Amino acid sequence: MHHATQVQLLKKALALADQGLSDGAETASALPVSRYLDEPRYLRERDQVLFKEPLLVARSTEIAAGHFLTRDLLAPLLLSRDASGRLRAFLNVCKHRGTQLVSEASGPNRVFVCPYHGWSYNPDGQLRGIPHAYGFADIERACLNLTEVPLAERFGAVWVRHSPGPALDLERFFGEQIIADFDSFAVESHVLFDPQDIRRPVNWKLTIDTFLENYHVAKAHQATIDHLFWPNLGLFERHGRHIRNFYVKRNLRELRELPESQWNLRRHGNLLYFIWPNTLVLVEPDHLDFSTVFPEGPLATRVLGHTLLEQAPASDKALRYFQRNNQILYGALEEDFAMAARVQAGIRAGASPQLWHGRYEVALRWFHQELDAALEDLPEGG
C-alpha cells in the first residue's frame, strides 16, 4: 500500500482513538433473520449472485503448464493449462449423460475419458471420440464439447465464473483502489502455504459477518487474539462492492514517537479486505491469509483458505513461526464458527424477527445491502 495512504489511515485511527470512538455509520441498522434461514433466499444468492461473479478458485501456481486441476465448488470445475501457459476452465461434466468427467484432483494433461460410457475429450475441451458414434450422428458435434466458463488470472490467483457468460473484466471488477492495494502487496510473487478446506453447519453469510467487524473480539477472542487489538477500533471503507477494513492494534500510540516516514500500517493493525461476493483477505505484518466462503446449502458453509508468504520458510524456525501464526488464525476462526453456530440456533428459535447492527458494524450493513441490490430486493430494516 502506498505510504501516503498508510499515513492517512493511521492518522484517522489515532484521531478516533483519542476520541474513544470507532469509525462507522451515523445510525444503527437492522436485518431480518430470514436472511439466514430462508431456503429460497439461499438458492437465489447461489444462482443469481455467486454463479454470476468471478470467484477465487485456486492459485495460479497450482496449475503448471501442461497440467490440470479440478475443484468441486458451486459446480464441478476442470481447469487446464496448455503447454504455452494458456489456462481455460470447463464444467467438469461429460456432455453425454452428465457424469463428472475427471475424478483426480490434479495431474498432467491427457485425453479425459468419461468413466460411464467412454466419451473422450482433449484438454482444450473439444470432444475427441464417442464409442459407437453412429448413435449420435444426427447431433451437431460442436454442442457436445465441454462447457467452457469464463476465467481470468489476477493477483497470482485464478478467478472463475461458475456458469457460461461473457469474458471476465477483472480490472473493472476490482476497481482502481483494490488493484492499487494488491499490486503494492506483490502477491503474484508470494508462495502458497498451508491450504485449508473447512466445512461447518452454518449459513455462509454468518461466516462472512464475523470477519467484517471487530466489536466481538474482546469477548469472543479473549483467549486468542484480543490482547493484540485495540478494543472495538476499526476503519471501514467501501470500494464499489468491495470493502476495506483496518483493525487497529494496541501498539497504535507508538506512532507518536516515530516520524511519519517510519509509519507502517501493517505493524499497527490488520487490513481486512472483503472481495465481493465471498472472499476475505487478511493482511498481516509479513503474510496474507485468504478465505473464500462457499455455501453448500442454507445451513452449510465451506471455507477454502490459504496463506501467502513472501518466500518459502528457509529454516525449521521460520516454518514453526508461520505454523504458529496459522494455529492462532484458525483457532480464532474456530471460535467464530462456534459463535456462528450459536447465532444460527438463536435465530431459529424465533426470539426476534431481526438482528441489530451497531454503528461500528457498518461493513455488515454494506455487505447485506449489496447482496440485496444484486438480488434486486428492497433493503429491509437498514
- Other CB atoms within a 10 A radius of the CB of residue 189 amount to 10
The amino acid sitting at 271 is L
The pLDDT value recorded for residue 377 is: 54
What CA–CA distance (Å, rounded) separates 336 from 330?
Answer: 9
Task: For domain 63-160, give the CATH number.
Answer: 2.102.10.10
Span 176-224, pLDDT tens digits:
999 999 999 999 999 999 999 999 999 999 999 999 999 999 999 999 9
What CA–CA distance (Å, rounded) separates 346 from 350?
Answer: 7
| Cβ proximity of 278 and 271 under 8 Å | no
Domain definitions of the chain by residue range: 3-52+175-374, 63-160
Kindly list the strands in the beta sheet with 269-275, ordered across the sheet, starting from the edge strand earlier in the chain.
191-200, 300-309, 287-297, 279-283, 269-275, 242-249, 229-239
pTM of this prediction? Answer: 0.95
What CA–CA distance (Å, rounded) separates 268 from 234?
Answer: 12
Write out the DSSP string of 123-153: TTS-EEE-TTGGGGTTS-GGGGSPPEE-EEE
The pLDDT value recorded for residue 376 is: 82
The pLDDT value recorded for residue 381 is: 42
Tell me the pairing of strands 87-91 and 148-149: antiparallel
Q: Which CATH superfamily is domain 3-52+175-374 in?
A: Naphthalene 1,2-dioxygenase Alpha Subunit; Chain A, domain 1 (3.90.380.10)
User: Which ranges of the chain have pLDDT less than 50?
Assistant: 378-382
| Cβ proximity of 276 and 240 under 8 Å | yes
User: How far, CA to CA in Å, does 370 sit from each of 14, 114, 193, 374?
Assistant: 30, 40, 32, 6
Tell me whether the CATH fold assigned to 3-52+175-374 matches the one assigned to 63-160: no
If we measure between CA atoms, which residue out of 240, 239, 264 comes closest to residue 252? 264
SS3 content of the chain, % helix, strand, coil (to 5): 35, 30, 35
Sign of CA dihedral 89, 91, 93, 97: negative
What CA–CA distance (Å, rounded) separates 338 from 308?
Answer: 26
The pLDDT value recorded for residue 85 is: 97
What CA–CA distance (Å, rounded) separates 227 from 224?
Answer: 8
What CA–CA distance (Å, rounded) separates 339 from 221?
Answer: 10
186, three cell numbers: 506483490
What CA–CA distance (Å, rounded) separates 120 from 145?
Answer: 10
Using H for helix, E for strand and C for coil, what is the string for 284-338?
CCCEEEEEEEEEEECCEEEEEEEEEECCCCCCHHHHHHHHHHHHHHHHHHHHHHH
